[in-house]
């Protein structure tokens, strides 16, 4: 598969994937911006805003679960590269730095989520 087949372009407000959908791919932002959001009725709560070089969708590619949020292009001509499960496993097994990068990002996202949950529960 050529690299061009793994690259998709989106316009502002285009949905890359929806919360609850299945998918065994993660995405890397090549250009533009992507918002990760929880949808609530007609509105949305943005969880993260990602730019060039950042990735998303890693939880589904790791454990095969459904998507936990919706990914939406937030800038014109947003380009993302899809990395399927097989390529992900290859990269993790052959590139320790890639595996560490994924673990670092997951750790930071989990810590941020825990902080938000703690504060919402009345912690200081």
> What mean pLDDT is predicted for residues 69-81?
97
- Between 82 and 1, the more confident residue is 82
Q: Answer yes or no: are the C-beta atoms of 83 and 6 closer than 8 Å.
A: yes
Please state the domain count of the chain. Answer: 1
Give pLDDT, residue 32: 98
Please calculate the CA angle 6-68-108 and round it to the nearest 5 degrees.
Answer: 85
CATH of the domain at 92: 2.60.120.10
This prediction has a pTM of: 0.83
Between 2-11, 68-77, 107-116, the lowest mean confidence (pLDDT) is in 107-116
Place of tokens 């890693």: 58
d(CA 1, CA 90): 15
Kindly report the three-state secondary structure assignment for every residue of the chain. CCHHHHEEEECCCCEEECCCCCCCEEEEEEECCEEEEEEECCEEEEEEEECCCCEECHHHHHHCCCCCCEEEECCCCEEEEEEEHHHHHHHHHHCHHHHHHHHHHHHHHHHHHHHHHHHHCCCC
Which residue range forms the structural domain that includes residue 87? 3-120
């Amino acid at each position: 598969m050529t690299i061009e087949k793994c690259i998709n372009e989106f316009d502002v407000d285009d949905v890359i994937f929806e919360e609850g959908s299945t998918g065994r791919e993660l995405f890397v932002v090549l250009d533009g911006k992507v918002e990760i959001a929880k949808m609530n009725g007609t509105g949305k709560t943005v969880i993260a805003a990602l730019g060039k070089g950042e990735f998303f969708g890693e939880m589904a590619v790791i454990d095969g679960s459904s998507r936990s949020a919706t990914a939406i292009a937030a800038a014109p001509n947003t380009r993302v590269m899809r990395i399927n499960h097989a390529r992900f496993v290859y990269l993790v097994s052959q590139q320790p730095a890639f595996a560490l990068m994924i673990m670092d990002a997951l750790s930071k996202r989990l810590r941020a989520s825990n902080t938000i949950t703690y504060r919402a529960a009345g912690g200081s």
